[in-house]
Structure 1
Amino acid sequence: MDLSRRLPVLLLLLFCLGTASAQTSATNKACEALNATSCEECLKNVSCLWCITTKSCITYPVSTILPPHSLCPLNDARWGLCWMNFQTLIITLAVLGGVIIIALLVCLFCCCNCANFGSKRFAAKMEQQTDKTKTKQEERRSEMKQRHDEIRNKYGLKGANPYAKFK
């Protein structure tokens, strides 16, 4: 392949990696610099984690989802809010997630049943309407037959088939 096409992409990639590593090292230094402060001061930086047992500000370990127990126990780790520990946060989020999933399943079940109920109701309504239309049509037919019979009686065409004499 052509090296001149790949060179700008490689330079951009190297620049991005260098910037990212500089930011993480700056974040590490920023969190460790807040060790002698309070929980509130530490948690002003979103990438920091406060450990109550060691009273230290630690960079949040993004490689693992939860901070390992060797770094700080979940019950003593604070992130985001000083008054809520990680264990409570995880339990709360799990309960909220479960409630949302159950609510979605109930809504899905209800909507499916309601849709079937609605279609049954719609079919019954349509059937009633067709029955009404058929009865009205039969009434009109009987009225037209009665009028035709009256006209036949008036002009003396009382036979079963008025066109029988032309056959």
Structure 2
Amino acid sequence: MEETWLQHPCARILLLLLSLAVVYGQTSTPAPAHKPCSFYSKRSCEECLKNVSCLWCTTNNSCLDYPVKTILPPSSVCPLSDARWGACWINFEALIIAMSVVAGAILLGITICCCYCCYCRKSSSAGRLEAEEETLILEREKRKQESLQRKNERTIKHNEIRKKYGLLQDMDHPYSKFEE
């Protein structure tokens, strides 16, 4: 029976991770009414970060528009150790490190899982091939023995018929018929 790609353990894990990502992405709360990020300056970090497009800088307690053209906010806008995005209790530098560690762990886990699954599949198929090969050898030997047994039975039967009609020659003296 052939295995479909959905029955493979690695495919199941990947589908689980993708579904969790989709569910997590759908359950996030929508942003409140759009006010410019500068409106929340000199207020609190929590108010600023309710809008995901805002960045809180602790050095001057300012709420800034996140610089979307660059992946990381440049130090001219706000130093990474003082920038807050997503949560007020963690600085942007620690957030980047934590996210990269988690992403690396996930990639390492997926790689190990795939390698392990491939190794298991390879070893199980190698074991299955060896077992099939052994059964083929045993069947071949069995057929050979049966063939020899049938050949001996035919020889005995033919010799009995020859003996009955006097056609059986003495095998000890192959030239005995020339002596008569």
| TM-score bin (small chain) | 0.5 to 0.7
Report percent identity of matched pairs: 41
Equivalent residue, structure 2, for 1:165:
none
1:84 CA drift (Å)? 1.5
Return the match for 2:150 from 144, 149, 152.
Answer: 144
More moved, 40-49 vs 67-76: 67-76
Deviation string 1:116-148 (CA, Å, 9 cap, x unpaired) is 433432331222011111111012112212331
Equivalent residue, structure 1, for 2:43:
37
Question: Match for 1:61: what amino acid?
Answer: P
Question: Match for 2:130: what amino acid?
Answer: A
Q: Provide the rounded CA distance (Å) in 2 between the counterparts of 1:81 and 1:156.
A: 105
Equivalent residue, structure 2, for 1:9:
none
Q: Provide the rounded CA distance (Å) in 2 between the counterparts of 1:110 and 1:69.
A: 43
Equivalent residue, structure 1, for 2:70:
64
Question: Match for 2:75: what amino acid?
Answer: H
Return the match for 2:135 from 122, 125, 129.
Answer: 129
Q: Provide the rounded CA distance (Å) in 1 between the counterparts of 2:72 and 2:63.
A: 16
Return the match for 2:83 from 65, 77, 81.
Answer: 77
Q: Match of 2:89, SS?
A: coil
Q: Provide the rounded CA distance (Å) in 2 between the counterparts of 1:144 and 1:59.
A: 93
Q: Provide the rounded CA distance (Å) in 2 between the counterparts of 1:94 and 1:83.
A: 18
1:73 CA drift (Å)? 1.5
Q: Provide the rounded CA distance (Å) in 2 between the counterparts of 1:65 and 1:74.
A: 12
Question: Match for 2:78: what amino acid?
Answer: C
Deviation string 1:24-81 (CA, Å, 9 cap, x unpaired) is xxx6x61111113211111111111111221111110111111111221111111111
Question: Match for 2:74: what amino acid?
Answer: P
Please, what TM-score do these two structures have when normalized by structure 2? 0.64
Equivalent residue, structure 1, for 2:22:
none
Q: How many residues align?
A: 134
1:112 CA drift (Å)? 4.4
Equivalent residue, structure 2, for 1:120:
126
Q: Within 5 Å, which residues of 2 pair with 1:5-20? A: none
Return the match for 1:48 from 50, 54, 61.
Answer: 54
Please, what TM-score do these two structures have when normalized by structure 1? 0.68
Query: Which 4+ stretches in 1 moved above 4 angstroms?
Result: 157-160
> Which stretches in structure 1 are left out of the alignment for 5+ residues?
1-26, 161-167
Q: Match of 2:42, SS?
A: coil
